[in-house]
Structure 1
Amino acid sequence: MHKDTTAQRAPEIAFDDFLKVDIRVGTVIAVKDFPKARKPAYILHIDFGAEIGVRKCSAQITRHYTPETLIGRQVMSVVNFPSRQIGPIMSEVLTVGFPDETGEVVLAGPDRPVPNGMRMF
């Protein structure tokens, strides 16, 4: 169950703090089931363009997405967090989304195609 994040706003931060979070767009190029995850999840391989390359992450998004609906989809991910061990894989980015009314993840992404690797501003 996800925490209700609509109840409280995060504390105010300086614009320079926002700039420290590097959120980029990438295209999902491969999706694998992740049976060793504690909760149902996929392993996503996301192409962030020449500068960053292909990175992988674990994503608990099986409720609304299938591998077929994810391939070719552009998603937004934080690319400057340290890598994190999740079971047998090293998750290299944090793909972002919003909880729906039941707490399931709905991915965030651009509504029109943009070049892979573009930074959110």
Structure 2
Amino acid sequence: MDCIFCKIANGLIKVDFLYEDDKVVAFRDINPVAPQHVLIVPKKHIESVMNLQEEDFSLVGHIFKVAQKISNDLGISENGFRIVNNCGTAGGQTVMHIHFHLLGGRDMQWPPG
């Protein structure tokens, strides 16, 4: 298992989780680009959005539910936040395990990249 997010989700690399359940973990990004920058990572290894199977789509909905909870917990839900998923290398994905960035605590600019 060379996937860093699988190692984190399985407890092989110790990280302080902001949230954990049977499907996902959430933790702070080590290279934050916003005052609040949290990664929400499914425990199931799925390489990217393009590798989602029919049975995985409810997991994506669950991730958004977790993002809602975390944004409330961090106090960024009222002013707003951004959820980002990078897909593939040209899309900016650097870890080939699907994950979502929850960004908040500052005004987000557009276009983003």
TM-score tier by shorter-chain length is under 0.3
Which has the larger helix fraction?
2
Please report the TM-score for the alignment, with normalisation by the length of structure 1: 0.26
Q: TM-score, normalised by structure 2?
A: 0.27
